[in-house]
Amino acid sequence: MAGKTENLLAILRAQPVVPVLIVEDAKSAVPLARALVEGGLKAIEITMRTPAALDAVKAVAAEVEGANVGAGTILSAKDFDAAVAAGSTFIVSPGATRGILEAAKNSSVPLLPGAATASEVMALREEGLEVLKFFPAEQAGGAAHLKSLSSPLAGTLFCPTGGISLKNAKDYLSLPNVVCVGGSWVAPKEMVAAGDWAGITKLAREAAALKG
Q: Which residues contact 51 (CB under 8 A, 6 or more apart)?
A: none
Output the smallest distance, CB 2 to ligand 3PG, in A.
Answer: 27
Instruction: Please report, in angstroms and rounded to a whole number, the separation of the first and last CA atoms in the chain.
Output: 28
User: To the nearest whole angstrom, how small is the minimum distance from the Cβ of residue 72 to ligand 3PG?
Assistant: 7
Q: Give the closest residue to 186 by CA, choosing from 174, 197, 194.
A: 197
Interface with ligand 3PG, residue 164, by CB under 6 A: yes
* DSSP-based three-state secondary structure for 162: coil
The least CB distance from residue 37 to ligand 3PG, in Å, is 19
Q: Which of 99, 163, 188, 212 binds ligand 3PG (CB under 6 A)?
A: 163
Site string for ligand 3PG, 112-151 (x = CB under 6 A): -----------------------x----------------
For residue 133, indicate whether it is catalytic: yes
Query: CB–CB of 88/57 below 8 Å?
Result: yes
Residue 45 among the catalytic residues: yes
Q: Please report whether residue 89 would count as binding ligand 3PG according to CB under 6 A.
A: no
Q: Indicate whether 16 belongs to the interface with ligand 3PG (CB under 6 A).
A: no
Strands 114-115 and 131-134: parallel
> How many Cβ atoms from other residues are within 10 Å of residue 68's Cβ?
23
| Residue 203: φ, ψ to 5° | -65, -40
User: Which residues contribute to the site for ligand 3PG (CB under 6 A)?
Assistant: 20, 135, 161-164, 182-185
